[in-house]
Structures are given as structure tokens and as C-alpha cells.
Structure 1
Amino acid sequence: MNTTAPLLDVAGLTLKIGGSGRTVVNDVSFQVFPGEIVGIVGESGSGKTLAARAVMGFIPPAVRLEGGRIRFDGQDVMTMSPKDLRAMRGSKVGMVFQEPMTSLNPSMLIGRQLDEGLALHRKLDAPARRALILDMLRSVGLRDPEGALTAYPHQFSGGMRQRIMLASVMLLKPGLLLADEPTTALDAVVQRDVMELMVELTKANHTAVLLISHDLGMVARYCSRIVVMSQGDVVEQGKAEDILARPQHPYTRKLLSAMPHRSPARPLPEARTPIVAVRDLVVEYPGRQGFFRKSEAKRALHGISIDVQPGEVVAVVGGSGSGKTTLGQSIAGLVRPTGGEIRFNGKPIEKSDAAYWDYRLNCQMVFQDPYSSLDPRMTIRQLVAEPLRLVPDMSPADRKARVAEVLTEVGLGNGFAERYPHELSGGQRQRIAIARAIVRRPSFVIADEPVSALDVTVRAQVLELFDELQKKHGFSCLFISHDLGVVEQVADRVIVMQDGRIVEEGPRDDIFDNPTHPYTQKLLAAVPGLEATSEGGVRLFWRRAENDQEIVG
């Protein structure tokens, strides 16, 4: 029992949509004590982000406060004047957002953005502020802090941008840090590094953390207490080990049961002619031409060779910038290779012959973000039917019947046919993206991070759907992902890439249980796993340790 006063005390918080009166946060209560890390988990739409934003007074205009109280460090946030709220934001309560590229100003230099908060909240001269900024950039792992001050956000990777965002917040040493899905778009190693850095910085400043996430493994690793939210309600809260080991509420048990798990290895037919064979593939992006000099060309793929057998699911894993997406786009014909060869059913792909046409019709792609890959002006029926335009001798009635059949296969039904993409949830849009990819009954599908933006239960549904469709139609798949838990569930074989090269490949069980390359070992060591227990809960474990020794929970 914590005897100190809570730093943050939320009691009976209720928020409603102004026009409809729909309750989005209902009588929510929780506390955060100094130096503590508390996790809020739940599906999309559970109200967890709205509840956290209310702490800073960041309630959207369409949402109104219906009741409750928020006290931070003894002060009532709800009765603060706009001036007092501005003074609190940043200096006392900081927030790290999910996507740093949208929260960092793309038109401002990094140095100027970091200086803004210090100039506003600290009475320091410019040289003192600069010294503090450089120290913080070194603390978050930037190799060239001086150079970073005169760079723009787009010049950094996603992991580096998140480090800069964390630096901008921690410069002011807030008492409370709100972290809203801070590592969702990052690969396993960068995700671990960012979280460890955040924990290190908050411990040094005795900062409390409210971590909003749907990554239960990460929450289990870093949080001392967990608040579980569903449809605006807190359904369960308590010590992390108790919630995970002995969940009481059916919704919590549902969340935990939706975690990815390794299925038994599938028996595959004996190797024959690969459906797709890539030989010595090279992709090189030319350097930029300037007035006085030309930047060097960047080689994204260094002579990649892979085979995908009929009916096989081959997963490609690796960090950001490893070349896995470039590989998928090159095979799909979206990126022109600089060198090498791609064969489909044993025939080389040449744009001038019939084999290329056959390949393009039989190779389909599922993109990471369905909202940006689906035309918002087209109905679901039009979107799914579009790939059928090139099917010879297919009548409009046949096309309509095929669309209805595929919509049923992906679990939506023909009732969705006249809707538009913005009328669907993220999981439903991803189902439409899958429907578009399989409507022609292709023999090869490339899935590029198809579930990375989905919460845990929707992800489980989409993965189960993908597995059922793959078994039913027998298509081969190149599955690109940075989520090793997902890869462990779906893959027959795994290819590990680093810096545009394949460093290790083999059957899934061999890669996960006996990795030989140091980079593969590092990837597996970065990700905690959750395994089911006999009590209906889960137990935290590590697949590998940094020194390549097994860790038991």
C-alpha cells in the first residue's frame, strides 16, 4: 500500500460527445504515484487516450466534460485558468505522442524546436539552453548533437525522431510523463532502446509515467500497475503481476488470449520449382544532384537471393532501414531493381513478354496502412472489384458475385459493399485490403506490415482470417513485419535482414530457438513474450538474453 500522496488523482472522469451525447469515458478513476509507471491498456476506442489527454486539458472541442475530477500535484486541473494550464504543460506534465513526425514541426530545425520549451518555461540565457539541449541529445543517443540542431525531422529515422521527441519533453524535467503508444511504429530493437531510455530518464528525474499502449508485452515489462479500459469503462486495475497472472474480468482475459502464439510447424510439400525466385537483387537509389556537388547513391539491397515455395509463408524481419519493404516492393514491381533477376514459376520476368503480364496478375500486395491505400472516393464494392477489370471473359454479374463472395470470406458480408473506407474501423479496412488482394485468386501475396497499426484483439482476428484464407486458397506469401510475435505465429520460414543484406534464414523454429547470427540474437533479446499459464493468465518471458542465455520469467 502506497502511503505517499498520489501525483495524479483521476476520480469519476466522464466525457461525452457534445452532439450525440454518447459517453466515451465513463466514471474513470485511477492514481499515479511519484516515480511510478502505470499502464493503461485496451482496444482502439476504449477511451484510454482521451482519459490521458484530459490530464493536460487537451480534450477535443467536440468532447465535453460531464463530471469527475483531475488533481495533479494537489491542484484541480479542471478549474485551472488557460494561463495556469500553459504553465503546467511541458514544465510539469509532458507528453510523448505516438507518431513523432506529426508532433514535430517539419518546417523547423530540431534545435529551435527543442529551445522553444526551455525559453518559455526556464529563465536561462541562450548559451545555457544550448548546453542543456546538447547534453540531452547526447543522453538520448544522438551521435552528432551539434549537427542535429541544424537538421529537420525528416532527416532522421523513426527511432531517432522518437528519441528527439523524448528529449524535448524530458528537457523540462516534468513530474509526470504521458506516453501515448510511444513505440508502435518502431522495430523490436529500437522499441526496446527507446523504452529503456525513457525509463532511465524518468528514474533519474523521479518522473512518474502514464503509459498508454496496446502492447501487453511491453506493459508487462515496464509497468508496476495496469488499468484495463473497455468502451470507456475501467473494467479492472491493480498490480501488473496480479492482472497478468490472474485476470478477473472477461475482457482482460480476452485481451491476454489474443496475444500471438506459436502454432505447430505446418507440413509443406517437397520443394519443387519456387513460385517466386529472386537472384542477386540489387536496388540502388541515385544521389541528389546539387549545384556544387552530388550526394552518393544509396544501395538499399545488396544482391538478395530468396525462394518462395508454393503454399509457403516466408516472413522477412529486420530493423527499420534493413531493406525488407524495398524487397517486397521490388518483387511486386513497384520499385525498379538496379540489378538481378526475378523469376515467377521458373520464368524470368521481362516487361515485354506474356510472363510479366501473368506475374503482375498473380502477384498482389497488402499495404501497411489501408486508409492511405484505399481510394476514399470509391465504395467498398468498387474497391474490391477493381482488380477484376483485367480478368478476361468475366461479366459484370460474375464480378458482383465474386465481390460478394470475397466480402463474406473476410467476415464482413455484402452489407458493407456500398460503404466508403472512412465508414469502417481500422480492422475492417484491413479486411478490405486483404479482400482486394485475394479477389483475383492470386498465387502470390506480399503483406507489408499488415497488422502493425491494429490493437491486440483486432490483430488476432486479422491474423486468424489471413491464415484461413491462405489455407483455403493456397497462395504463397511474403510476410514483412517487425513484430516477432506475429511472425512466430504465421511463418513457415524466416529471413532476417540487416542493412540491405540477408544475415540469416531458415525454418521458423530454428530461427526462434537456435539463432546463429548476432543480429538475430539481438532482435530476439529485445522482445519480451507472454505465454499462457494454467490459471488463465500469462507469464512474461524472454526469448533470448543479450548474452545469448535463456531467461526464465
Structure 2
Amino acid sequence: MSETSELLRVDTLELGIAHLPEARIVRKASFEIQPGEFVGLVGESGSGKTMLGRSIIGLQPSAIVPRGGSITFRGKDLSAMSAKDLRHLRGAEIGMVFQEPMTSLNPSMTIGQQLEEPLQVHTKLSATERRGEILEIMERVGIPSPEDRLKDYPHEFSGGMRQRIMLASAMLLKPALLIADEPTTALDALVQREVLELMVELSRENGTALLLISHDLPMVARYCERIMVMCQGEIVEAGPAQTILACPQNAYTRKLLAAMPKRGPVRSFEGAETPIVEVRDLSVDYVSRSGLLARTSRKRALNRVSLSVRRGEVVALVGASGSGKTTLGRAIAHLIPTSEGEILFRGQPVSKRNSEWMDYRLNCQMIFQDPFSSLDPRFTIRRILSEALYHEKAQEVSVREDRIRQAILEVGLEEMHLDRLPHEMSGGQRQRVAIARSIISEPDFVIADEAVSALDVTVQAQVLELLADLQKKHGFSCLFISHDLGVVEQLADRVVVMRDGEIVEQGLRDTVFDVPKSDYTRALLSAIPTLRRTQTGVELSWRFDAPNVAEVTR
């Protein structure tokens, strides 16, 4: 094999911070990628994997600067290239799919304009030819009625469709290398599989090599031939995917694999007392007004949903994006109005017109998906927790302070964190604050909406263990909304599966996971592989042979 046979070579690369000469966020990283090869880069948040990926095409923030080493693409030293030459390389030969398409797509440009831009910059195609190429790739990535969607803006697409647009944009010029940075983090299991299978299929067709950056180990193990494990800026282990999974050599790799969710113990709530919360035939309609005559249209988001949660029980709500999970959670918390049906708390109907209203609002708390947007950025953590005790004004100041200190310690933080602002904390710490805010008033019922979806695997494991411990200690019931089936399998006692605003299946966790009755449930469980533990490591496995995902989601 010749010196330049590899497509990409990274040799002892070091990245530092401009104003801190001694600091290193990537240390002596070395690896190669062959033409057409699929390589995974895994590690916790803050390990340096995204900076390493972005530095390949010079897209790291201006404060991050090279401190040594080299990056060679097809024998050319990228670090010696001018900004103009790098711009010609990006898109044409190296494409990139970013983690959050809503922030990487231009909100002021139509999808058609954004897809046409790389063709205008990198090709000499006529306007008619460009349009033909765009329509062909949009149809290829599964955008329905592509001609009608060219004038739409990013906000008019779902999360999965936006990620398909990003993939179409990256693959339009058939690059030799595609860098995908957490391409499916916010997507549900079925959409994840659709997007990943599509990305792999397009890459194979075009002979494109893939660098897949993720903290999702089952996904990386499923699609990559080699895996590199990154910790604190260093690649601590690398090799064939099966070898690393079956017999990890590095302690950090073993720690990552040990943090993967595993099925929790069986708990029985049969014959328990009256449910703490019960929902009967609940419906939610979204009404929109448009046109000069302000005509109204009505869309049913929830259709006659019924479920119950017993005291101390954890009920998981799962389903694809748009199935109505979050709508149901917000409706139960009275954060959105309902159209029909009723909500019962301790067997009594709840409405703003009866005496149960205030008691229910105090005893029903919610943990939101993104703590950064749900915690007031102007308030210290102390004030955020204090506001959760607003209705207990008669309590002495010293008692309130004791409860605040106790709550912050219970979620694994320290008293010094009370005087910090949300932006001064990590994602995992902010989620702990959100949990502390929800339990400080000692509620009977907590709704957790995708409470760990944005966390990497080790922080996720810590937060899940924390939730389980707090739930045992305080005895609150929990409605746990999630698209991560591994997390549900670890935490839930019962599982409720939703599709298009209706419940298609519900039952004990082990029954639903092991013997699903609905084809839709089976497809959800089959969409993403799992890692089964062995004596020395883990191995890739599937729950079932999945039915056609596209047909189930149609």
C-alpha cells in the first residue's frame, strides 16, 4: 500500500485554545480512513470528537487553533491550504451533516435555494440541470412531492425531514468523505433507522467514506467497520468494531459499555389502590386560523386517550415523533387546553372550577426535555429552586433554605452550585437542577418529557440512576416520555405505545418488549439494534426481525 493510498490521514493532531497556550482539547490524535470505509468516533460530551471532526475541514470555532500535527486529504495537506481552497474542498469533496439541522439550515432561505447553492458554487450546470439534480436527490432521500416543497422553509419540515434535507445537501455533489456529527440524536427510533439506512445506502452507491461521530454505541456498532474511542481529547482505543465491543481493552471503553441501559427489576402494582392520576377519553384539538376571512381548521392531536398511573409506578410513554406523547404529557399537566375527556387526581376530577385544582397543580410537576430553555437564564440556581416553593410562603426562611440545600445535594450537586447561573453548568448538571426543581415540593406525580435524550451515555446512566433513587425515596409516580427504548427498558414498570394521537398498545414492560401485539410496537423495538452483555464485553443483537419500517410509518 502506498503512502497516499488512504483517503484521509490525521497525524498527531493537537488542537488548543487561542488565549490559553498550554490548554489542549485534542491531544496527538492519529488515524486514517480508506476510500469507502465507515469509521465511528465515540466518546462522552466534551471528549473533543466534534472539534476533531470539524477541524478536518476547518470549521472549528475561531478560538480553537491547531497546536501541532497534520491533516492530509488525498495527499494534500489541509492545514497548509488557504481559506479559498478549503471552501472549494468543502461540499465538493468533503461533506458534513450537522447534529441540529434547524440551526445549520438557513431559516431565511427556501429549501430549493439552499440545495441549489452548492451546485452554483461547485458546478457549471445550467439552472434547468440544477433543478433536475435537486429534485432527483430530494426524491431519493424520501421527501414527498419534492417539486411542491422547493419553496418551503426549514421550519415547515419535521425534524426527520430536515435531517433528510441536510443529507441531500451533503450528498448532492457525491463527496469522497462524509462527516456525520450526531446525525440522529433528536430523532425517534423509526426515523433514526430510516435516516441512517438512507445515509449508508447513498454512501455505498457513491463510494463515499463515512466518519460517524456519536455517543450512540449500538448505532455506531451497527454501521461502522472500525471504531475509535475518544476520552479527554485522546483516542484511547481503536480497532475493528466487533473486536472492541467483544473485548474492550481500555478502562474508559469498558466504562462506556457498562453505562449502556439495561433492563431493570420487575415490580408489580396489581391490586394497588386508586390510581394517583387517571386520564379518561382525553382529546386535544389544535385550531389554526388563516386567510382574509379568518377561516379555522382543526387538527386532532390526541383522540380519546385513556390511561392510569398507580402510586409509586413508572409508566413509559413511547412512540414516533408526532405520535402525541408530549401533547398528552402537557395536557395532563394542564399546560395546554383539552377538547374533551377528563383527568382524575386521587379519584377526583380536576378542573379550575373545583377545590382539587391547586392541590393537583402543586402535586403534578414536569421535567422538560431541554433544561437550558426551561431554566430562567437570569436566575441563580438558588432562586430557581426557591420559586418552586413560592406557594409555601408561611414557611420560615431558614426552613426554605434547608429544603433548597437538601434538594441540590439529593441530585448529586453541591451547595456552591446554588449561586451559579444555568449557563455556568454542564448539560448533565442543568438536568439535575431541573430534577431538583421538580421534586423540591415533594409532589405525588412527575412527568418527565425526554429528560435524558440530549445526554451522553455515561451522564444519562447517572441521571437515570438518580431518578430511580429519588423515586424510591420519595415514592412519587412518574409518567416517563421517551423515544429511547433502552432507557424505557431500564426504568419503566409499564409501557404505553402511541401512534397518531392514539394508544395502540399498553401493558407490563416485559410483556410489551418481549411479546408485542402490535406490528407498530414490533417495528419500534426492531428499528435500532441493542448491545447484549457478554462475559468480556457486549455483542450487537436485534430484538426481532423488523417489518418494513417505511410501510409502518407511512
Q: Secondary structure at the match of 2:303?
A: strand
Q: Secondary structure at the match of 1:360?
A: helix
Which consecutive unaligned segments of at least 5 residues does structure 2 have?
549-554
Q: TM-score, normalised by structure 1?
A: 0.97
The question of 1:338 aligning with 2:354 is answered no
* Amino acid of the structure 2 residue aligned with 1:313: V
Quote the Cα distance in structure 1 between the aligned partners of 2:298 and 2:106.
28
Q: 1:28 to 1:397 in 2, by over 3 A?
A: same
Quote the Cα distance in structure 1 between the aligned partners of 2:421 and 2:102.
27
Q: Which residue of 2 aligns with 1:71?
A: 72
Conserved? CA contact 1:281–1:340, under 8 Å: yes
The question of 1:522 aligning with 2:553 is answered no
Q: Secondary structure at the match of 2:180?
A: strand
Q: 1:25 to 1:459 in 2, by over 3 A?
A: same
Q: Which residue of 1 aligns with 2:136?
A: 135
Conserved? CA contact 2:269–2:310, under 8 Å: no
Q: Which residue of 1 aligns with 2:551?
A: none
User: CA offset at residue 272 of structure 1?
Assistant: 2.1
Conserved? CA contact 1:529–1:541, under 8 Å: yes
Conserved? CA contact 2:176–2:209, under 8 Å: yes
Quote the Cα distance in structure 2 between the aligned partners of 1:3 and 1:316.
54
Quote the Cα distance in structure 1 between the aligned partners of 2:325 and 2:456.
23
The question of 1:381 aligning with 2:379 is answered no
Q: 1:200 to 1:2 in 2, by over 3 A?
A: farther
Quote the Cα distance in structure 2 between the aligned partners of 1:281 and 1:35.
51
Quote the Cα distance in structure 2 between the aligned partners of 1:98 and 1:445.
29
Q: Which residue of 2 aligns with 1:240?
A: 241
Quote the Cα distance in structure 2 between the aligned partners of 1:281 and 1:248.
52
User: CA offset at residue 385 of structure 1?
Assistant: 1.6
Q: Which residue of 2 aligns with 1:437?
A: 438
Q: Secondary structure at the match of 2:390?
A: helix
Quote the Cα distance in structure 2 between the aligned partners of 1:20 and 1:86.
28
Q: 1:218 to 1:365 in 2, by over 3 A?
A: same
The question of 1:173 aligning with 2:174 is answered yes
The question of 1:9 aligning with 2:3 is answered no
Quote the Cα distance in structure 2 between the aligned partners of 1:207 and 1:501.
41
Conserved? CA contact 1:4–1:33, under 8 Å: no
User: CA offset at residue 416 of structure 1?
Assistant: 1.2
Q: Which residue of 2 aligns with 1:540?
A: 540
Please give the per-residue CA displacement for 1:16-53, whole angstroms capped at 9, x wherever unaligned. Answer: 11122311001101111111110000001100000010
User: CA offset at residue 294 of structure 1?
Assistant: 3.4
Greater displacement, 539-548 / 68-77: 539-548
User: CA offset at residue 122 of structure 1?
Assistant: 0.8
Number of residue pairs the alignment of both structures matches: 547
Q: 1:256-405 residue pairs with structure 2 within 5 A?
A: 256-268=257-269, 270-291=271-292, 294=295, 296-391=297-392, 393-405=394-406
Conserved? CA contact 2:4–2:75, under 8 Å: no
Greater displacement, 475-484 / 146-155: 146-155
Q: Which residue of 1 aligns with 2:228?
A: 227
Quote the Cα distance in structure 2 between the aligned partners of 1:290 and 1:235.
60
Quote the Cα distance in structure 2 between the aligned partners of 1:264 and 1:436.
27
Greater displacement, 288-297 / 257-266: 288-297
Q: Secondary structure at the match of 2:452?
A: coil
Q: Which residue of 1 aligns with 2:31?
A: 30
Quote the Cα distance in structure 2 between the aligned partners of 1:371 and 1:67.
35
Q: Secondary structure at the match of 1:234?
A: strand
Q: Which residue of 2 aligns with 1:551?
A: none
User: CA offset at residue 288 of structure 1?
Assistant: 2.5
Conserved? CA contact 2:4–2:74, under 8 Å: no
* Amino acid of the structure 1 residue aligned with 2:331: S
Quote the Cα distance in structure 2 between the aligned partners of 1:74 and 1:291.
61
Conserved? CA contact 2:366–2:449, under 8 Å: yes
User: CA offset at residue 269 of structure 1?
Assistant: 6.0
User: CA offset at residue 381 of structure 1?
Assistant: 1.0
Which consecutive unaligned segments of at least 5 residues does structure 1 have?
549-553
Conserved? CA contact 1:39–1:219, under 8 Å: yes
Q: TM-score, normalised by structure 2?
A: 0.97
Quote the Cα distance in structure 2 between the aligned partners of 1:335 and 1:72.
53
Quote the Cα distance in structure 2 between the aligned partners of 1:296 and 1:31.
55
